[in-house]
Structure 1
């Protein structure tokens, strides 16, 4: 559920950011929701084509995206450092904006995690390539941890940079583009080409995130790819009728991912507490494993709960976070399916591996 919604979320962000660029460059443009839906479908179709016909080019493209990811960070923060307005350290680190009118800054911060936590999820996607990597049990954990460290460090630099160069908060929140970061870029550079270039870096990296690792040729799960295309297109149509409903799907990505992480880590922690041996492995967290598992759950559990909160304390039908309804409905369907059919027909991958051996 998390990864299926993630495709929609990423494509929706990329598509609506493109819409925001159009508004910035052509103020007379009338932004329509169905325009955004068509952009979402276009980005998804590009990803599907890449996952089928152009799969052989994926390693080359991955190298280009890595270069863009690293160089793009400096291409964005350097213009902000040089040209952007300056806020004081006191403003950046001590002032809080409780725009949702919650009863405390702490609650507002926890609710705000639902929009920022996306930078810390999705690293498990590397596991999807486990069958294509040598020594996957050792290589993948190292790759995941390295990714978290590198991206957390670069993300922190970006966050601090943006906070110091925000300028007037009310001004950027009122931007007609729909994305305050785009207004921050424009206010700093006062240049449409400069803003377009900086924003294009984000659009390209987002679009690249919708492309999944597959084997060359047609040796791919084509049925699953086509189902993902169909689901993404159908979910994107929701935007035509209600942006609020589609944003609930975007938030559902976070809730679904968090719950899968919680279940996985809790199962490992339970075995540690009971003194039961973990499956054979080449890499582990060592003697800090239990402490890290407990710390991870202490962080994930409140984030999971607050992912279902609306962004404002005063809730109307058009400001309600409806992802809790979607999450509950899908969970009920999944449990019923498992009880009636799934548990009688599912063959785990380990059983297949043992059979081949």
Structure 2
């Protein structure tokens, strides 16, 4: 039987995939409007939260929107309901629709926006373009009574613990005796107050990452029967995974810049785009970064890429790229729309594994403000 869930449970699953701590400094991510403590049967995934997107959510009976671009980017001084911004917020509140934002954390996440863009371009051997964070490797050790060892072990694994390369649910257990004395004020699961207790316990060791630490520990504590769970956390000396913005990879087939431009237009479903470079130049190594890539032009050049695919390129930045001999293809900021189906598919699979009764809908609306003539 499938389980009905609330917003907190859905976001807990989402943050296993795209933790908030991956976001760039001062990036407003997380819950921005509404509440999560209500039953959620449908979730709308949107690139932008505009009024017609909110109307779509209302028509679909949605109670939660997961969006990429923040609806509140700067602090609000007033909320006037007779202007577009205020009317939008008022409509969300009136219909009790929560808005949760995953911005640069979803860009950085393994399998997130930039990986979806690279996949759309059929790139292989991809690497991070701009490292922003090392996802450190840690060892979590917890002591559990034998009766609950399997429950705790499975809870940690389902929250992301024990993920090593292409293997999941990795752990090690050993048995021993735990000793403790509940003192006045304690409410022990096992034993009596002011009496020394000995319990047959299991020591469970598993690998976790910075990005999964919060969820794994919360899952462990929730499954653990003790009032005060005993656990240790150690930082491993081995290097963790380097995470960051953008990806660099190799095209399936070498082509000219002219051919590559047509390929990009097809893959991202854009009618036209801007470019910099010689149309006859050979293209094989590609750097791609969703959103605005002006700050990362040199990183793309130093990566050895033949072309940099990104949006919102400035006039003077384009001159700099041309002088460096780096081709640019700018299909616009809106190619991040890949996150709609990408997020919906990812969450559909993750929630199905947990038996959650929730539907994920990718917004059908085009929110690109630009038109081409």
More relative contact order, 1 or 2 (CA 8 Å, 6+ apart): 1
Q: TM-score, normalised by structure 2?
A: 0.27
Which is richer in helix? 1
Q: TM-score, normalised by structure 1?
A: 0.28
Which is richer in strand? 2
Q: Of the two, which has the highest radius of gyration?
A: 2
